[in-house]
Structure 1
Amino acid sequence: MTTRLEPGAPAPDFALLDQDGSRVSLADLRGRRVILYFYPAAMTPGCTTEACDFRDSISSLQGAGYTVVGVSRDEPEKLRAFRERDGLTFALLSDPDHAVHSAYGAWGEKMNYGKVVEGVIRSTFVIDQDGTIALAQYNVKATGHVARLRKALGIDA
């Protein structure tokens, strides 16, 4: 059973490579409110929808003081191609061994077309400036997720 994070818990620290091969850690983001979202695979239909929704909402999210960061198992080269193809303006981090996914409870058993499989659990976390989980959402739907997240955070489009 995957351990899930709850609001008030410390956000697990991480250090991963971004789409450009630069190291990004949660410690680097300390002092900012972070929206950390985990998605299964770059350039797939659902993940593209979700990433483009974040892209299209980035002004309102940043205006409210949030930094958006996406995490997948993809290698930096694929993340760079995804970012360029879809004009994404936020960091995409590579977690090929899914260690950070696991630390956040975003890796484990899930239903996929009626079968139980192990893989990425599409999840989003809002992390406060001090590194505390403010909101944890698991098994989110790609379509409409960002609008629902903005509503939960009280952010207008």
Structure 2
Amino acid sequence: MTNTTITEGQPAPSFCLPNQTGETVCLKDFYGKWLVLYFYPRDNTAGCTREAKDFSALKDDFAAENAVILGVSKDSIKSHQNFIQKQELTIKLLSDEDTSVHQQYGVWRMKKNYGKEYMGAVRSTFLIDPEGIVVKVWDNVRTAGHAGEVLGVVKEKKVR
């Protein structure tokens, strides 16, 4: 169980994962664009739904900044399809069932809940610039206002 820590200024770890339609999506597909890569614990849970809906609501604002949003969880493609349909999401979701990409990004960690310890996804977001460099990391994210904050940072980083 590798627990690498991704830091700002380093190249984003390469990945290829299936999206909700089964199409393979790779990091390299987004060179030339800003990429918001966010990891979340589970489809159709309260916090994850709020985060996905907030990112979906701002999708056009991100697109106007040449930014793409990808959500990643260990849920199956079928689960993602149901989540997108039920919540009317407009963003793409990637399925990392074996958690290999979670581990590459250091977000598959020991968690505690009600006194129990278990491995799980720590809600985290990575902003990757058009050259594939991680320029901002949000760890252990609180969902309220997060999508708007990420959009603000995209706008700020683009100006530089």
- Residue 117 of structure 1 deviates from its aligned partner by 2.9
Mapping 1:54-73, distance limit 5 Å: 54-73=55-74
CA distance in structure 2 between the partners assigned to 1:45 and 1:129 by the alignment: 32
Tell me what 2:131 maps to: 130
Q: Is the 8 A contact 2:17 2:26 kept in 1?
A: yes
CA distance in structure 1 between the partners assigned to 2:16 and 2:154 by the alignment: 26
Tell me what 2:118 maps to: 117
- Residue 3 of structure 1 deviates from its aligned partner by 2.4
| Cα distance per residue 1:26-45 (max 9 Å; x no partner) | 11111111000000011111
CA distance in structure 2 between the partners assigned to 1:135 and 1:25 by the alignment: 20
CA distance in structure 2 between the partners assigned to 1:14 and 1:102 by the alignment: 11
Letter aligned with residue 125 of structure 1: F
Partner SS for 2:58: helix
RMSD of aligned C-alpha atoms?
1.6
Tell me whether 1:37 sits opposite 2:48 in the alignment: no
Tell me whether 1:50 sits opposite 2:33 in the alignment: no
- With the length of structure 1 as denominator, give the TM-score of the two structures: 0.91
Tell me what 2:17 maps to: 16
- Residue 152 of structure 1 deviates from its aligned partner by 3.2
Gaps of 5+ in 2: none
- Residue 114 of structure 1 deviates from its aligned partner by 5.1
CA distance in structure 2 between the partners assigned to 1:110 and 1:139 by the alignment: 11
Tell me what 2:151 maps to: 150
Change (3 A) 1:114 1:148: farther
Partner SS for 1:97: coil
Q: State the aligned residue count.
A: 155
Partner SS for 1:70: strand
- Residue 71 of structure 1 deviates from its aligned partner by 0.3
CA distance in structure 1 between the partners assigned to 2:90 and 2:68 by the alignment: 11
| Cα distance per residue 1:14-35 (max 9 Å; x no partner) | 1101000111011111111100
More deviation in 30-39 or 146-155? Answer: 146-155
- Residue 146 of structure 1 deviates from its aligned partner by 1.2
| Cα distance per residue 1:81-111 (max 9 Å; x no partner) | 1111112112100000100001001111233
CA distance in structure 2 between the partners assigned to 1:154 and 1:30 by the alignment: 18
Gaps of 5+ in 1: none
Q: Is the 8 A contact 2:65 2:155 kept in 1?
A: no
Partner SS for 1:67: strand
- Residue 126 of structure 1 deviates from its aligned partner by 0.5
CA distance in structure 1 between the partners assigned to 2:29 and 2:55 by the alignment: 21
Letter aligned with residue 11 of structure 1: A
Percent of paired sites with the same residue: 39
CA distance in structure 2 between the partners assigned to 1:58 and 1:112 by the alignment: 32
